[in-house]
Amino acid sequence: MSASRDKRWKALIVDDEELARHVIREFLEFHAEIDIAAECANGMEAVKAVAEHKPNLIFLDVQMPKLTGFDVLELIGTDVPVIFVTAYDQYAMRAFDVHAVDYLLKPIGRERFDAAVERAKTRLGEKMATPAELSAAARPPQQFLERLVVKDGTKVTLIPVGKLDYAEAQDDYVALATQGKKHLKQQTIAGLEACLDPANFVRIHRSYIVNLERVVRIEPYAKESRIAILADGARLPVSRAGYARLKALLDERQ
C-alpha cells in the first residue's frame, strides 16, 4: 500500500506539553490532507486513542510521565508511521535513524516538520522495526529496563523490574511472574534477557530467567539436573549451563 497525494490521513498528537501539541496542530494546518483525530496528554490516553481512531500517522513525544514514547510504541505496535518528538535524547535520535523512522527535535521548526511528514508518508505499508528492537537500540549501553509494560486488551500493566520473580518462555511470548500473578507479553525470552541487568537476573534454562533475589535454594532433581526453589515456593528447572551461571552469581553475593 502506498501513500497518494489525495489520500486522507488521520493523525494523533501525543505530548504532555500543551505548547508542543499547539505547535504541531498549527503546522498541520498547512497539510490539508491530514485531519487530527485526537490529541493526547499522556501515553495511557494515546493507547486508547489508537485503538479507537486507528490513525494513519502519530506524533509521539519520547519523554512523558508514566508511559514513555517507547512504552506507547511497544503497546500499539509499529504498523502506523510514527514521528517521534524529543527535546534532547541523542540515543533515541540515533535509533530512529537506524530504523528509518523520523523524529522532530524540540523546539520544532516548520521546514523540518514538513520534511518529517513527507518521510512518514513514504513509510505507510512498510514493515517497521519491532518495538523491542527500537527500544534496545535507543537505550544507552549498560542501561537496563526499570519496568516492563504489558497490554491485555485495553488494560495496561506496569511491572517494576524489581518485582519480577521470573519469566517463562511461551513461543513468541514470555509469561512474567510477579506477586502471585502471570502476565503474558509478546517478546522472546532472549529479547527480554538482553533488557535485564545480568547482575540481578540470570537465564537458568532455555525457557526461564529468574530474579536472583527470589532464589532461596537449589536442589538436585534428576541425573545432572537441578531445580531452583523461589521464595514463593515456585520450582524452576535449571540446566547445566544455567546452574553454572546461577552458582557464579550467587557466590559473588556471599
Would you list the domain boundaries of the chain? 9-138, 147-253
**In the chain, what percentage of residues exceed pLDDT 90?**
56
pLDDT value of position 32: 93
| Residue 78 DSSP one-character state | S
Answer yes or no: are the C-beta atoms of 33 and 8 closer than 8 Å: yes
| 216 contacts 196 by C-beta, under 8 angstroms | no
User: Cell numbers of 218, please?
Assistant: 537449589
Higher pLDDT: 4 or 120? It is: 120
Mean pLDDT (the chain) is 86
Q: Does the structure show a pLDDT above 60 at 179?
A: yes
Average pLDDT over residues 118-136: 68
Q: If you search the block for the grid coordinates 521464595, which residue do you land on?
A: 231
Q: Is the pLDDT of residue 94 over 50?
A: yes
Please tell me the number of Cα atoms within 13 Å of 189 on its side-chain side: 17
The whole-number pLDDT of residue 1 equals 37
Q: Per the structure block, which three cell numbers stand in for 2?
A: 502506498
- Tell me: pLDDT of 207 over 90: yes
Cα 49 versus chain centre, distance: 18
Q: What is the mean pLDDT of residues 65-94?
A: 80
Q: What is the pLDDT of residue 140?
A: 61
**Cell numbers found for residue 196:** 535485564
Of 113-117, 123-127, 187-191, 207-211, the range with the lowest mean pLDDT is: 123-127
Question: What is the widest separation between alpha-carbon atoms in the chain?
Answer: 71
CATH entry, 147-253, from 2.40.50.1020, 1.10.3720.10, 3.40.50.300, 3.40.1440.10 = 2.40.50.1020
* Interval 91-111 mean pLDDT: 75
- Please answer whether residues 141 and 91 qualify as being in contact, where contact means their C-beta atoms are separated by less than 8 angstroms: no
| Cβ(247)–Cβ(210) below 8 Å | no
Q: Which residues contact 220 (CB under 8 A, 6 or more apart)?
A: 226
- 3-state class (DSSP) for residue 138: helix
Question: Residue 132: pLDDT above 80?
Answer: no
Average pLDDT of the segment spanning 136-147:
71
The answer on pLDDT for 8 being more than 90 is no
Q: Evaluate if residue 111 carries a pLDDT over 90.
A: yes
Do 9-138 and 147-253 show the same overall fold? no
Rounded to an integer, what distance in angstroms lies between the CA atom of residue 208 and that of residue 33? 49
Per-residue pLDDT, averaged over 64-77, amounts to: 84
* Residue whose C-alpha is closest to residue 161's, from 144, 148, 142: 148
pLDDT at residue number 26: 97
pLDDT band at residue 2 under the 50/70/90 scheme: very low
Of 67-71, 101-105, 155-159, 200-204, which one has max mean pLDDT? 200-204
Q: Quote the cell numbers at residue 56.
A: 494513519
The more confident residue out of 151 and 254 is 151
pLDDT tier at 4, thresholds 50, 70, 90? very low
Give CA separation, 32 vs 2, 25, 26, 29, 80, in Å. 18, 12, 12, 6, 20
Q: Radius of gyration (Cα) for the chain, nearest Å? A: 21
What pLDDT is stored for residue 21 in this prediction?
97
pTM of the model: 0.74
Q: Does the domain made of 9-138 have the CATH classification 3.40.50.2300?
A: yes
The alpha carbon dihedral of 179, 218, 189, 197 has a sign of positive
